[in-house]
Amino acid sequence: MARAIILLPAKNEESGIGEVIDRIPSEAIYSEGFDPEIIVVDGNSEDSTVEIARGMGSRIIIQNSGPGKGNGIRDALEEINRDEGKTDEDIVIMLDADATYSPEDIPRFIDGLKVNEVVWGSRLRGKIESGAMSATNKLGNRILSLSATLLFFKKTTDLCTGFWGFRSKTLEGLHLTAEGFSLEADLFCSVAKKGVKTLEIPIDYANREGVSNLKWYIDGPKIFLKTLQKRFRKI
């Protein structure tokens, strides 16, 4: 049976990691024809994130190439690509470990991947819980999303979404370079340049558990710069 790899990037997410893992709908994933494997990519947490995740049966990958979400995901993908049991039919679902996204939506992503190579969720098209996204972050995301849409002639309404689904072969073919929170822009831009078939679906967004590491005044400009770099570089 092909795997559905549920990839959870995490750093100091002891408040939310257990809830996210517990809510992953394993039986529904099995019914879709996939064997779920939960992998937590830990960014050298200083709390009990790893202990909680390991105790719930998750595979742990500790990032070692430097700090940042992008570095952690690349470390994880390199290790996953070395797995002896991998198949071309494997899929990868990535979502944050802070309980802002609904793991119950994973079967919708799997359904989308039956006819598309990449699926991402748009919080701006779904229901955002009161207080989950500040007006500043929402405006900034809209501006960044519009910029990416115009630069790549491919529409996205949520460039900064952390909920993605990929066919594994497609993900292997992406040239990712982001180190930190510009990972999502890196993913979208790489997918757009590849010209693969994609689908954006509405998703809901809840208040996070724990403290966010994202700072809009630092990470927003970095995300825009990553978008420009990906547009005008050959790879």
**Domains of the chain in sequence order:** 3-232 (3.90.550.10)
- Name the H helices within the chain: 17-23, 26-31, 49-55, 69-81, 106-113, 135-152, 168-172, 183-194, 216-232
Residue-wise pLDDT for 24-72, tens only, equals 999 999 999 999 999 999 999 999 999 999 999 999 999 988 888 999 9
Residue-wise pLDDT for 1-37, tens only, equals 899 999 999 999 999 999 999 999 999 999 999 999 9
Both tokens assigned to 159:
């460039």
Mean pLDDT of the chain: 93
CA dihedral 158, 160, 165, 168 (to 10 degrees): 130
* pTM of structure: 0.93
